[in-house]
Amino acid sequence: MGVWNQMISSGPYLWCFVLSIVSALVPWVNGEVVLLSLAAMAHSPWAKALLALSASAGQMAGKCVLYWAGKGVIPLGSGRVKDTVSAWRVRFEQSPSKLLTLVFVSSAVGIPPFYVVTILAGAFRVHFGAFFTVGACGRILRFGALAFVPWIVVQWFR
């Protein structure tokens, strides 16, 4: 019975992780809505924090796939798209920290879309460890804040 109870009690975190992977890969699946829904049912701050970590881990697992796809699987094409990417590449090659700043802002705020920034980070050959670390920090910040939104709203109206 102990293993069964443990599986049931970890269900929301597992679902949050899996659905966050899906949302990282499929742009019209909203990971924020998944997290907000599950966080609204969480009964303790620890449960909310674990949901935020589950969502962040799932998102970064999915974003790793996009990063590696951008690193060589997805062709950049030709013409205007290639010229635009080349222009951005020159800008970021002059200052690699600018791209990591963009990764952090995008992962924390969502503007520009982290989906696109992730693919560009792969295409621009950003060091994977740096991309993953900076992106994970931004996602933890974003999902940590979102996990506590339902609790803050309830406290505000009390």
Task: Output the average pLDDT for the chain.
Answer: 86
The structural domains of the chain, with segments of one domain joined by +, span: 2-156
Nearest residue to 31 (alpha-carbon basis) of 17, 20, 42, 39: 20
Q: What pLDDT does residue 4 have?
A: 46
Report how far apart, in Å, the C-alpha atoms of 85 and of each of 62, 82, 124, 134 are.
23, 5, 9, 22
What is residue 62's three-state secondary structure? helix
pTM for the whole thing?
0.83
Nearest residue to 50 (alpha-carbon basis) of 33, 35, 32: 35
Helical residues (DSSP H) of 69-148, grouped into ranges: 80-94, 96-109, 114-123, 128-147
Whether pLDDT at 103 is above 80: yes
- pLDDT above 90: percentage of residues in the chain: 54
Buried b / exposed e along 113-130 (16+ C-beta atoms within 10 A): ebbebbbbbbbbebeeee
* Interval 66-81 mean pLDDT: 72
Q: What is the largest CA-CA distance in the chain?
A: 62
Residue-wise pLDDT for 148-158, tens only, equals: 988 888 888 88
Whether pLDDT at 134 is above 80: yes
CA angle 120, 103, 60 (to 5 degrees): 90
Whether pLDDT at 78 is above 70: no
